[in-house]
Structures are given as C-alpha cells and as structure tokens.
Structure 1
Amino acid sequence: MKILNYISKTVWVLSLISLFTDTASEMLYPIMPIYLKSIGFSIVLIGVLEGFAEALAGLSKGYFGKLSDNSGKRVPFVRLGYTLSAISKPMMAVFIFPMWIFFARSIDRFGKGIRTGARDAILSDEATPETKGKIFGFHRSMDTLGAVLGPVIALIYLYFYPQQYKTLFYIAFIPGLLAVFASFLLKDKTQKHLAKKKPTPFFSFLNYWKTSPAQYRKVVIGLLAFALFNSSDIFLLLKAKQAGLNDTNVIGIYIFYNLVYALCSFPIGILADKIGLKKMFLFGISLFAIVYFGMAFSKNSCTIALLFFIYGVYAAATEGISKAWISNISDKKDTATAIGTYSGFQSICALIASSLAGIIWYQFGANTTFMITGIMTILVIIYFSFFIKDKIIKNDTQT
C-alpha cells in the first residue's frame, strides 16, 4: 500500500516494541487489583500505590524528555525505559512484601517516564508535519493492539489455571523481553544541534513553559483542562458493571473498546493529516462528551456496548493526534521536552481527575459524575473552537 510507504523501519520497530510492552502490561491489568488483594493489600493501599506510581511517571516524563533534548540522544532513553518496565513484571511475583511491591510498580512507571518523550520525539523525527497523523496513528494502533492481546491471553490462561496469578507475571516477562531485544534495532540519528553538557535539574523542564511558543501553551492549557475531567476508564467499567454486565462481560467490553481503538487509530491518523489535527481532535472529544452523557442515562448492555464502540473511536481520534499536534507546534530540538512536559502534566491531571470522579461518585452518584464530565468537555470544545488555530511551527521543524 502506498500509505505504508510513510512507515519507516524505525517506526515499525518502535511500534512493535510498544505492542510487546502493552501486551505484557495489559495482560496484568485485569488481575492486578485481585492479585494485590490476595497478598494483603487493602483498597486504600492499592489506591496509594497506583497514585504514587502514576505521579512518579508523570514527573519523570518531563525531566527525561528535557534530558533527551539536552543530550541529543533518544535511543538510550527508549531502551532503558522499556527494560525497566520489562523487569518489573516478574519482580512483583518474586516477593510479596508491600515495600517491594511499591518498588517494583514504581520501576515500571519510572520506565514509562524515561522513554515517553524520547520515543515520541523519534516518531516526530520520522514524519513531516503533513504525515504526523499517519505516523502517530500507526504507532497508536500497534500499541493498542497489545491492549487487546494482553487481556485475551490473561483470560485464556486463567480459564485453564484459575487464581494462579503469580505465573501470569512471569509469562508477561516474555513479551516485555521481546520489546527490549527489539529496542537494540534502533539507532540514533546524528543531531544537528550540539548536545548541552551542563547538568539538567529534575524540574528544569518546567522552564520550557516560559520559553515555549505561545501556540504550544494555548493548546496544552486546553488539553490539560480536558485531562482534569478525563478520569480513569475504570469508572466506565464500573458503570458497565452497574448496568448489569458480569465480570467476564466487563473484561470483554474492555477488550472490545481496545480493538476498536487499535483498528481506528491508523485510518483516523490518515484522515487527520487531510482535514487537520485540530479538527480531528475536536471530533474526538465531541465523541467523548456523547459517551459520558450517554453513560449517565444508559441502563442496558446494548447501549453500553455502543458507547464503548464510540469511546474506542474517541481514543483513536485524540491520543496519538494530541502528540502529533504538539510536535507540530514546538521546535524540533525541543520535541521530547514539549511532549514530555505535556505528558507529565497530563499524568498529574489524570490522577486529580480520577480522585475527583471518585469523590463525586461517592457523594452524588454515577450519573452526576458523568454529567459533570460531559458538561466540562463541552466547555473545552468551545475553547478549542474559538481560541486555538491549527498551525505549524516552521522554525527547525523538519530534518
């Protein structure tokens, strides 16, 4: 296919690495809370663990993105990040002491923080402003395919070996290891700008906010406002459970959502390059609003399934597209910093969003939670529609 000519060897390798890693991670996603409970973790402790791990990942994304830009290197950060995530899987099964579990889970998220900015900068370097949607969309398709394969493998394994959770952590190490091996196929390109030798303080990436293009700040403000009310998918799954779906169906609908997400990301990326990244992102968050308003009133499984289908299309139209958009409105030499800074703040906002959603759900019920999110999303749509232009930073954007 002519379209696939845009997909370079480097993009293929990065996409396969993400597929293997997501397969490993998502293999454990459905059973992680059950496993933690089985070794003595309370709901509160699970929440603290996940909150701490995500906060660590968020803060480190900005720092290591900045460090990657300063050093002029990408591949070492990608390789180290995926290696840490791979070795964290069996670590969680070796010992069951709470502090060890905290350490292993933190290693996993820390790995994500190390690799994110550098990896997305490589993807950006492999594209032109006119093909960013295709490249990021293709990578997102492959990555999300892992989110389909992982839970399917877990379901098949647990069908034959119920409650044998520990072994699953060792099995997850296999695709994680394949990701690490594949990372050795990557090579850094020679950077045009000189690497900076001075030390990079941990919070130095925050200075980028002051020096970044005005368009970058405007777009990221809107993206973070949306992230503040975009809570964990767990709340959607809880709503599905509340609507009458059993545990197997809930996992099944989660796999269905990821399948739609994976299948739609690449074609949506192609379309986004034609109509504009901003228009595609607005289309995506409009679907998000529909899903959340729908969830507030839906009570039957057929409607829930339809909404999860729409939710998969929403994810395909926003996740990769937002990073492609950011890479188009930031200077090439700062790509990892720009994406890492946004991703870091996004992680913190997601943590706040899930906390707020939990509080609102507890105090006022599920319907109020989804209605508030839908209303706030409409305000974000208005902001992007009237205050943000879809333009590209020309200075040093292309190789």
Structure 2
Amino acid sequence: MKRLPPNIWLMTAASFLTDVSSDMVNNLVPLFLANVLGAGTATIGLVEGIAESTGSFIKLLSGWWSDRVVSRKPPTVIGYGVSALSKPLLALAGSWSGVLAVRFADRLGKGIRTAPRDALLADSAPAETRGLAFGVHRAGDSLGAVVGLALALVIVRLAQGDALTLSAATFRRIALASAVPGLLAVLTLMVGLREVRRAAPAANRPLLGSFRAMPAAYRRYLLIVGLFTLGNSADAFIILRAQERGLSVVGILAMLLAFNLVYSLVAGPAGALSDKVGRPRLILAGWAVYALIYLGLALAGAGWQIVALFIVYGLYHGLVEGNARAYVADLAGAEARGAAYGLYHAVVGLLTLPASLIAGLLWQGVGGWAGFGPSAPFWFGAGLAGLAAGLLAAETRRGRAEAG
C-alpha cells in the first residue's frame, strides 16, 4: 500500500472508534422504536429521516466556513464531541419524540464535522492517492461498525438470548456502553490531528456565491446523486424487513456485522482502483449492485435471503461511499473544497428525509390508505438507482467527449 500521511490514519482511527460507538446502538434504534415504544413504520421513517437530514444545513455552513479560515480541525473535533456526548442519552428516552431529540443531537454533531473533515482528508492526501485515502478512511469506519455490532451482539445474546424482539433494558445497557469509544475518538483527534496549513483561505465569497462559482460538472453530478438518494431510504427499513421475514435480534446484528466486514474489506482496494481507472466507473458499478440488491429485497420470501442480500450490500458501500466523496474533490477543485463537501452532504442529508418518509408511506400507508406492503420501498429504490446510473453514464461520456 502506498504511504499515506499521518492525518489520514488519525482520522481513520477516530472514525473507527466513533462507528464502534454508533453501531453499537444506532442500528437497534428502529427495533427499539418498533418493539419497545410501539412506533409504526411511518413514524420510524420520520424519526430516521429527520435524524439524517437534521445536520444538512449545518454541513453547508461548516464546509463553507472551513474554506474561509485556515483551520479545519476545530469543527471536526467539536462535531465528534457532540455526537459522543449525545448517543448515551438514548438510555433515557421513553417515547419516539425523545429518541428523535437524541438522534437530532447526534446528527447535528455529524453535520458540524463531516464537510470540514472530508475537506481535511482531501487536503492531507496527494491527488494521486486521494481515492486510496478515502477508501482507507471508509474501511476504518466500517471496521468500527463490525466491532460495535459484535459488542452489541454479545450484550444482546447474554441479556435476552435469541428473542425475536428487543427489550428496553438491553437497549439502554448498550446505549450507556456506547459512550466509551465515542469519547476515545474525540481524545484521539484532540491530541493527534494536525491542521494542513493553506497559504490563504479561499476567496471571500458569500455562501451562495461559493456554490454558483463551482464547476458545472460538479453541479450536474450533485443532481444525479440527489436523484439516487431519493430512492435510498434509511437502512432501518432493511432491518425491519429482516425482522418481518423472521430474523431474531441476534440474527439481525450478525447480518449487520457481516455487511460491515464486506464493506471494510472492499473500500480500501476500491479506492486504490479508482485512482487508476477513474471514480465514475466504480460508482456506476456500485449503483448497479444496489439496484439488483433492492430488487432482491423486494422479492425476498425468507429471512436467509435478506441476510445474503444485505451482506452483498456491503459491496455497494465499499465501491461507492469513499469514491463518491473523492470524486467531489476531483470535480470541485481546492479553493472551495469545504463548501463543495458541505453542499454534497447537505443534498444527501436533506433528501434522506423525503426518501425515508416515502419508504414508510409506501410500506404502511397513512390514514385510510393501506400502502403497498413491505416490498414497495425496495421497488422504488431499485428504479431510481437504475435511472441515476443511466444519467451518470451519460454524464461520464459527455465529460470524455469534452476532454477529447
């Protein structure tokens, strides 16, 4: 493996520890809402959608602001800190609104840190190893999820065996335990992370001016990503689909662990490959895998089929997540890199809310309308993924023609 700067490894370590904390508890939130608090899928879609969308405007501001000042480290550390302190409060939640409040705070922290952190990753890595740097970072993130899920699985197994539903006591025990790795991540960054000093901040443009000044290719890419995201509802619906097909809580945690293991194994090599063959090819391959998986989830008739599909789902994440972020830096350039990441994450986050609401309504319905059943959100997601892949392929051909 090519040598990567220390900052890449420090941020990878912090993401590893943060995902140990997050995946101990966050993947169990939909089960806690459904099994303990009695929430329906429409409510779960609302909670997950707001949680994922809540930091979107903050991502815009934090990314734009990090372009205007020399240091990107403070918002990165503060964001990790807010998330680390909020997750244990899930142990106190007694209603879906209480869960929403804690998830709101957790995602607020993510909103503060994500754009400046990704910009600092891009600043720290030479262009020829940018895909590798983002791939290694995503691999560390997903490896943390493996460890977090393994810890949660052990706690659930010891506390309630192979029960089909999650108990309140088990969930609250896990929420409290999640505080330790989260706080270790914050200490890691406070002590070890070093700012990459730039000669001067970016041009002193207002927020909207920074976005208007970005290349047209970046803006078109963002629209295509937005279309894909509209069909990419929260993974909570896959978890609920697995339980609906008969998986126990332990079985669901084991499925999530295997998914993240595949993700961590694929992300680094996929990032390195994208440095050689180009990011769009890997993103297109990942979106094609996603469409096929969602078709399978729509048609699945047994729990083992959900498990198999979700493990392959790790291949999609490994191919796309790091490379989609590295491609932002390729298209946007260095001057407004923070603002570019802010806008990218804001679009993805904002559209997660309607995506999750649509999924919940398609599944359950609302009022007197019964909805289309558990398979409907996955038909919808597969269709939009196929459409987005076609548009990205056309945009890639256009770029090659203009370059030639």
Same fold per superposition (TM over 0.5):
yes
Q: How has the CA–CA distance of structure 1 residues 129 and 190 changed in structure 2, closer, same or farther, with 3 Å as cutoff?
A: closer
TM-score where L is the length of structure 1 = 0.88
How many angstroms does 1:222 deviate by? 0.8
Within 2, Cα distance between the matches of 1:115 and 1:250?
29
Q: Deviations over 1:285-343 (max 9, x none)?
A: 01011111222223244443332232110111111110000111112121111011111
Q: Distance in 1 between matches of 2:97 and 2:241?
A: 32
Which sits farther off after the overlay, 316-325 or 359-368?
359-368
Matched, 1:17 2:17: no
How far does residue 158 in structure 1 lie from its aligned partner after superposition? Answer: 2.8
For the aligned residue pairs, the C-alpha RMSD in angstroms reads 2.6
Indicate yes or no: 2:65 matched with 1:67: yes
Task: Give the whole-Å Cα distance in 2 for the aligned partners of 1:383 and 1:47.
Answer: 28
In the alignment, which of 375, 379, 394 is matched to residue 367 of structure 1? 375
| In structure 1, distance between residues paired with 2:288 and 2:46 | 32
User: Which of 383, 387, 397 is equivalent to 1:379?
Assistant: 387
Give the aligned partner of residue 165 of structure 2: none
CA drift of 1:148 comes to 1.2
How far the C-alpha of 1:389 sits from its partner, in A, is: 5.1
Conserved in 1, the CA contact under 8 Å of 2:49 and 2:352?
Answer: no
Tell me the percent identity.
Answer: 31
- Deviation for aligned residue 1:103: 4.5
Are the aligned partners of 1:77 and 1:115 in contact in 2 as well (CA < 8 Å)? yes
Instruction: Give the structure-2-normalised TM-score.
Output: 0.87
Partner of 2:88: 90
Give the 3-state SS of the residue equivalent to 1:317 in structure 2: helix
The residue number in structure 1 matching 2:117 is: 119
The correspondence for 1:152, drawn from 150, 153, 160, is 150
CA contact (8 A) 2:5 2:125 kept: no
1:289 aligns with 2:291: yes
**Cα 1:65–1:40 shift into 2, 3 Å:** same
Q: Which amino acid aligns with 1:89?
A: K
- CA gap of 1:33–1:381, structure 2 versus 1, over 3 A, is closer
Unpaired runs of 5+ residues, structure 1, are: 393-399
Q: Which amino acid aligns with 1:10?
A: N
The alpha-carbon distance between structure 1 residues 21 and 187, as it changes in their structure 2 partners (threshold 3 A), is same
Could you tell me which residue of structure 2 aligns to residue 216 of structure 1? Answer: 218
Of 299, 316, 319 in structure 2, the residue corresponding to residue 317 of structure 1 is 319
Judge conservation of contact 2:39–2:96 (CA < 8 Å) in 1.
no
One-letter amino acid of the structure 2 residue matched with residue 222 of structure 1: I
CA gap 1:327/1:242 in 2 versus in 1, 3 angstroms: same
Given the alignment, which residue of 333, 357, 360 partners 1:358? 360
- 2:137 is the alignment partner of 1:129: no
Give the superposition deviation at 1:359: 1.7
Structure 2, unmatched stretches of 5+, are 161-168, 365-370
Corresponding residue of 2:264: 262
Amino acid corresponding to residue 68 of structure 1 in structure 2? S
Check if 1:174 corresponds to 2:172: no
CA distance 1:270–1:366, shift in 2 (3 Å): same
| Contact map agreement 2:48 2:353 (CA 8 A) in 1 | no
Change (3 A) 1:75 1:168: same
How far apart are the structure 2 equivalents of 1:312 and 1:241? 19
Partners of 1:101 and 1:365 lie apart in 2 by 25
1:51-94 residue CA offsets vs partner (Å, 9 max, x unmatched): 43333212211111111111222100111011111111333436
1:188 corresponding residue in structure 2: 195
Match of 2:26 among 25, 29, 36: 29
Distance change >3 Å, CA 147–CA 212, structure 1 → 2:
same
Structure 2: how far apart are the matches of 1:108 and 1:178? Answer: 16
Residue 218 of structure 1: CA displacement? 1.0
1:358 is displaced (CA, Å) by 1.8
Separation in 1 of the partners of 2:235 and 2:70? Answer: 36
Code of the aligned partner of 1:125: D
Residue 58 of structure 1 corresponds to 56
Of 71, 75, 78, 1:77 maps to 75
Work out whether residues 68 and 118 of structure 1, in 8 Å CA contact, stay in contact via their aligned partners in 2.
Answer: yes
Supply the distance in 1 between the matched residues of 2:240 and 2:96 (Cα, whole angstroms).
26
Which amino acid is the alignment partner of residue 23 of structure 2? E
Change in 2 beyond 3 A, CA 1:17/1:301: same
Q: Which amino acid aligns with 2:290?
A: F
Q: Deviations over 1:367-397 (max 9, x none)?
A: 34322322222221111111235979xxxxx
Task: Mark the CA change 1:320 to 1:250 in structure 2 (over 3 Å): closer, same or farther.
Answer: same
Q: Kindly tell me: are residues 33 and 290 of structure 1, through their superposed partners in 2, closer, same or farther at Cα, counting changes over 3 Å?
A: closer
Instruction: Report what 2:251 is aligned to.
Output: 249
Alpha carbons 1:329, 1:391 under 8 Å: kept: no
Q: CA deviation at 1:271?
A: 1.4
